[in-house]
Structures are given as C-alpha cells and as structure tokens.
Structure 1
Amino acid sequence: MEAGIVGLPNVGKSTLFNALTAAGIPSENYPFCTIEPNVGAVSVPDPRLARIHKHIETDRILPAVLKLVDIAGIVKGASEGEGLGNKFLSHIRDVDAILHTVRCFEDEDVTHVDGSIDPIRDIEIIDMELMLADMATVDTAISKAQRLVKSGDKETKARLASLEKCKAHLDQEKPLRGLDLDEEEQRLLKSYGLLTAKPVLYIANVDEDAILEDNDHVQVVKARAKDEGGEVVKVCAKLESELAELDAEDRNELLESVGLDEPALDLLARAAYELLGLQSYFTAGEIEIRAWTIPVGATGPQAAGVIHSDFERGFIRVEVFSLEDLEAHKTEKAIREAGKLRVEGKNYIVQDGDICHFLFNV
C-alpha cells in the first residue's frame, strides 16, 4: 500500500517528502524539478512498541512502514499533457491514496506558479486536472463496454452501469471520492485506477508563525476538508526538514522551543496510515519486536501471510494477547497462567494492537 504526495509546483512537496524519508535530496525553486517520482519509506511512529519493550527484552524494534511516492508538481493543463502532465498523472494512478499538499504560507523568495497564494484555487486546479483525466478514462471505458455489452455478459453490463454512474458524477465537476459506490461497483471499477476515487488527506504547509495558531489559509483548507468529510494535517515542511537532521536530544529541544510535543510528520504518517485503511499488529520475542501492517478487517490467516506466505497457507491458529494484558501481568507466561491468552482460528478478525503468535504447518 502506498500514498502519493501531490500538489502544484513550489508548495513544499519535495521538502516534505525529504523530511519524511530523511532522503536529504535538495528541493529546487522551479516547476517540474522532479521528472521521475521519488519513492521512499517512512516509519509509522507507534508508542506501543516501546511499551511492549518494557516487558519483553529484544535485539531490535521494527515499526510499521508506509511507502510514499513524491509526484512532480501538477499544473493547469496536466490532463492534456501540459508540463509532462500525462506522465505524472500515470504515477498517481498507481497509488492507493493521495496526500494533497497545499501551500499555506507567504514567501516572496519562493515563487508560486500562479503568482499568488490561494489554497482553494490550488486545490481546485489539482481536482479539475484529476477529474478531466478521469473523464477521459471513463469515456473510453464506456465506449468499449457499450460494444461488449451486446454479447449479453452480465458483468460487462454491471460495469457499464457503474461507469455511467461515474460519468454522471464527473459531469457535475465532482470528484468520485464523493460518489457512493458499493463493494461490487468498486470491484468493477478498480482496474481503471480512477484518480478522484482515491481517498485524500490535505497537508497544509505553513510557515513557523502558523505552527500553533492557524492562519487564514489553513482555516479555509480545513473548512474545505470538513465539507468533503476529509481531514487536514498542518505541517511546517521547512521546520520538519530541520528536525530530520538533528539527533534526538537536539530535536526535542527544538520541538519544545516552538511548542510542539512531537514532529508534525509523526501525525502525518499516522494519518496517512489510517487513510489507507491500515492497522498494525505486533509480534514480540527475543530477536525482535515488530509492527506488521494489515488492512482493517484482515483475518488471522491473512495477517499471518504478511510475515510469510507459508504462514497463511499452513495456518492452524493464532495465540493472541493485548498490550494491556502484558502491562498487567508483565510476561507472556503470566498471561497464560491468568487465562488471558486467547486462541483464535481462521475466522478471527485481527484487531489493531493485537500481540500475536501464529502456529502453522506446511
């Protein structure tokens, strides 16, 4: 599962990406500075790992990881190929969710591609380009489905109906993420990689003056997100890039000086993780304590499969206990003796924060 960071040129996308991944790649103050998408992985901060480690000694601790793609700045006309737009839009098609970075700061030294700071205009430019790309995809798919539906195939008929539903919504200049699609319709449409159907998290990139108190630009972005039923994470990409280069002691000192408890990027990583419908379960032993990433609703065998396919294929059962049980009883042995260790089968839905031990046979 991966998220793509999108936005107009010079809104702070690459600075944000570099801070998140500690890639250290300098950003440049001109459009189209990234020709191929940068791909990186970011750890998802989870204080539960440290809490587990207090009771289970281990050689290493491994957090969950989120894959990020830094996609080059999109401009008006991208859907028609402007600024290598078609190439960039194809990169968005491959991601599972969109992190839409919006410039919410004033700086005369950083040019804006449209000459002024207007977050809603910027959001609407990106939305329109993605909708225009989706319109072209849907129109082509409808034409093909109309030819094939004459054969009487029921699935093709259902797919055509779903595509026509999307077209009607797009014709109203509304992103598909606001369209109510059931599970079957989503399945039928999945192969098209429709851009505006992807979930979106807005990232309001601010200057240091707006770290604690929202400026006017942030307020309008939050109002826009609220209307869409979405979320906003406020980030000062410039500050976060400085924090990424410091050791823990200096980082904490700088955070304290600006009034923050943790880097805003920690909030962003967790928010993106949730946006993708992901959660973590843990394994814990002498070699490692590790957070494993699974979709919400994954069964025991599916969760086991992220460790190794043999675990899923030969799944017998999973032994489960909670972090609260570990903190109450201190050891797995004591948890067993207290009758708090649960044994679950193939239909068990793994819960966020479960500490699991899988038994399998292949």
Structure 2
Amino acid sequence: MKLGIVGLPNVGKSTLFNAITKAGAESANYPFCTIEPNVGVVSVPDQRLTVLQKIYESQKIVPTAIEFYDIAGLVRGASKGEGLGNKFLSHIREVEAIVHVVRCFEDENIVHVEGSVGPLRDIETINLELIFSDIEVIDRRIQKAKKLLKGDKSLQKELELLERIKETLEEGKSARTLDLTDDEKEVVKGYSLLSYKPIIYVANVSEEDLLEGAENYMVKEVRGHAQEENAEVVVVCAKIEAEISELDDEEKQQFLEELGLEESGLDKLIKAGYRLLGLMSFLTAGPQEVRAWTIKIGTKAPQAAGKIHTDIERGFIRAETISFDDLVSVGTMSTAKEKGLVRLEGKEYVVQDGDVILFRFNV
C-alpha cells in the first residue's frame, strides 16, 4: 500500500512523516523544504504475529508494510506549474491514496503560507489544483471520444460519463464525490484522476487539544467536509507523534497510557488506510517465519496465494485454513486438526481477515 502525504507548506506534513517513518526527512519552517518525495516504509502493527511466533516457535516475524511518500508542499497555482506544482502532481499519480495533512492549530511562531490558519480554505486549495489537472485529462478524453464516436456508437455511454465527470469537476467538486455504478467505477479507474483517489484527512492539532479530547471548531470543519467525500478523518498531534517515534515499543505504550491515549496517530492512520482501501491481512506461519499478507477484502484463495508467489496461484490445489482465534483457543495446529477446526478450502473460498493459511499447490 502506497500513501502519499500532502499538504500546504508548514502544516506539519514533514514533521508527521518523520515521526511515523523515522526516515529523517528534512523539516524546516519555510516552503518547499521537501522537493523530491521522501519514502518511508512502515511495518503494520499486528499482535497476532507475536502470538503465532510463540505457537510455531518461528525464527522471525515479517509484518506487512505501508509505504509513505512525503510529497512536496503545494501552493495555489500548482496545476499551472506554480511552486513545485508539476512534480507534486506527478508524484500523487504514483500513490494509491492521499493523506492530506490539514493544520488545525494556531501558533504565531509557525508561519502559514496563506497568512492565517483556515482548514477548509487549505483543503480547497489542494483539491482545486487536483481538479484543474483532472479537467485537462477529461477534456482530452472527451475530444478523443467525440472523434471515435463517429465510427463507434458504443462510446456514447462513456462520452456521457466523461461529460458528467467534467460537470462535477467544474462545480469545484472532486471526482470522488460522484455517485457511480460498479461498472462506471471500473471505467473511471482507468482515467487515473487525481481527485478520484481515496483520501484521508489528517487534522493536525495542538498537544493541548489532543489531550483534552475535545475537538476544536477547525477539526469539526474538516469532518464536515470529509463526509461530503466519504473520506476518513484522523486527528493527530504531529508534535506528540515525534516524541513517540523516539521510544521503543514498551516505552511507547507506557507513554500513551500516561497521556490517556489508546493508540498512536500512526496506528489510527494505518487502520484508516485499510478501511479506506478495503484491505485486510491473512497470515502464514511455520518454523522459519510468521508473516502477514495484505489483500483486498473479497479476495479468493488462489489470488491470495498469488500474493506469495504467482506459481502458487497457478498451481493452486487447496488452502488449509484456520481462523486465528480458533488456533489460539486450542494452542497448536495438531490439536486444531484433531478437533476438526482446520478446513480444506477450494478455489471459490473468500479469504477472511486473520485466516492462517497453508497453500497446497502443484506446478
């Protein structure tokens, strides 16, 4: 999973990136500090792997991972090449979802590129630049469809869809706000529209606001906008995340408890990403390693096997499957088999979150 972190300059974007990836991206109080996208790979926390390692006495744990791209700060006019606009837009095309960091705190010591803090204005600034870029893409497709339509009337439906998308974009609304059928969604995916990419709004608040637990008016504004786009909202304090990043796992948990927080911003962000993209994990286990594999919800067994190796998908015979909870309840795989908890699933089996699977195949 690739998530691109975007935002106006000085909203806490690179500070958050540094904290959650410990990748050391430069962070400074001036625009365009980030020029090329820094990339950080983050392991997805999954306590189930630790439990399985004990059951199987595995040598190592291999969690699944998320790639975070810290993309250059954007300013008004990026779609016309202002600032680092063209690079910004090209980098967004490479990610599966956008993490839009929005400043929801006041601090006179940190300059704002627009002169004042305004979350909805900031959201609109970035969304409009994506929309302007998409309008150019749609215009080209409409022109092409009209030319081809003269010899192929089957393109009429696509042309109508393109014109509906353009109308939405020209109203200043992102393509993700469109109400589309499943077939239309598949077509629109092929257009690679920036404003159609799933989005998570990260409301970056002050330490005081986070610890008090009461959302300020700026966060509420972000939530209201996100509802219109069916987007996720995660409230974090980049400053606290930076402090957490310096701690080991045990210290981190103790620190969170002292602050009265159930989980870190990174954990919340990862969960939001999984929900937004419709993802889940199945598990494999043995003496050498236990590993988590990320797949789309609804994936069938052979395609899940293909995540491990294409040969396993090609030669798929069956999947020996047990739910994580069932395995933990009896303690060992041999006991699970004695109790009939291990199932032999075929090609039509839809893998469930937390399934522990051994694939049988022949190539």
Shared topology, TM-score over 0.5? yes
Supply the distance in 2 between the matched residues of 1:325 and 1:188 (Cα, whole angstroms).
41
Per-residue CA deviation, residues 273-331 of structure 1 (Å, 9 max, x unaligned), is 22122110000111111110111111111100111111111111101001121122111
Match of 1:196 in 2: 195
In structure 2, what residue type is equivalent to 1:231? E
Supply the distance in 2 between the matched residues of 1:360 and 1:170 (Cα, whole angstroms).
48
Once the two structures are superposed, the pairs formed by residues 326-345 of structure 1 within 5 Å of their partners are 326-345=327-346
User: CA distance change for structure 1 residues 253 and 331 in 2, over 3 Å: closer, same or farther?
Assistant: closer
Match of 2:163 in 1: 164
Which deviates the most, 43-52 or 135-144?
Answer: 43-52
Match of 1:295 in 2: 296
Deviation at 1:256, TM superposition (A): 2.7
Q: Secondary structure at the match of 1:238?
A: helix
Match of 1:284 in 2: 285
Match of 1:208 in 2: 207
Match of 1:25 in 2: 25
Per-residue CA deviation, residues 40-69 of structure 1 (Å, 9 max, x unaligned), is 211121222233334332111122111221
Deviation at 1:109, TM superposition (A): 1.9
2:95 is the counterpart of 1:90: no
Match of 2:232 in 1: 231
Supply the distance in 2 between the matched residues of 1:31 and 1:197 (Cα, whole angstroms).
26
Q: Which runs of 5+ in 2 are unaligned?
A: none
Match of 1:222 in 2: 223
Supply the distance in 2 between the matched residues of 1:198 and 1:249 (Cα, whole angstroms).
36
On the 8 A contact 1:62/1:291 being kept in 2, the answer is yes
In structure 2, what residue type is equivalent to 1:113? V
On the 8 A contact 1:43/1:269 being kept in 2, the answer is no
Q: Secondary structure at the match of 2:76?
A: coil
Percent identity of paired positions between Structure 1 and Structure 2: 54
Supply the distance in 1 between the matched residues of 2:282 and 2:304 (Cα, whole angstroms).
8
Supply the distance in 2 between the matched residues of 1:314 and 1:335 (Cα, whole angstroms).
26
Per-residue CA deviation, residues 207-265 of structure 1 (Å, 9 max, x unaligned), is 21011322222222223223433321111112111211222343333323322233221
Q: Secondary structure at the match of 1:101?
A: strand
**Backbone CA RMSD of aligned residues:** 1.6
Supply the distance in 1 between the matched residues of 2:43 and 2:249 (Cα, whole angstroms).
16
Supply the distance in 1 between the matched residues of 2:324 and 2:255 (Cα, whole angstroms).
32
In structure 2, what residue type is equivalent to 1:21? T
Supply the distance in 2 between the matched residues of 1:264 and 1:187 (Cα, whole angstroms).
32
TM-score (norm 1): 0.95
Per-residue CA deviation, residues 152-176 of structure 1 (Å, 9 max, x unaligned), is 163x444323211211211222111
Supply the distance in 2 between the matched residues of 1:197 and 1:113 (Cα, whole angstroms).
26
Supply the distance in 1 between the matched residues of 2:40 and 2:170 (Cα, whole angstroms).
36
In structure 2, what residue type is equivalent to 1:193? S
Supply the distance in 1 between the matched residues of 2:87 and 2:185 (Cα, whole angstroms).
25
Match of 1:179 in 2: 178
Once the two structures are superposed, the pairs formed by residues 91-106 of structure 1 within 5 Å of their partners are 91-106=91-106
Supply the distance in 2 between the matched residues of 1:288 and 1:78 (Cα, whole angstroms).
46
Supply the distance in 2 between the matched residues of 1:247 and 1:26 (Cα, whole angstroms).
22
Once the two structures are superposed, the pairs formed by residues 298-317 of structure 1 within 5 Å of their partners are 298-317=299-318
Supply the distance in 1 between the matched residues of 2:48 and 2:189 (Cα, whole angstroms).
34
TM-score (norm 2): 0.95
On the 8 A contact 2:9/2:73 being kept in 1, the answer is yes
On the 8 A contact 1:55/1:326 being kept in 2, the answer is no
Supply the distance in 2 between the matched residues of 1:351 and 1:49 (Cα, whole angstroms).
16
Deviation at 1:136, TM superposition (A): 1.3
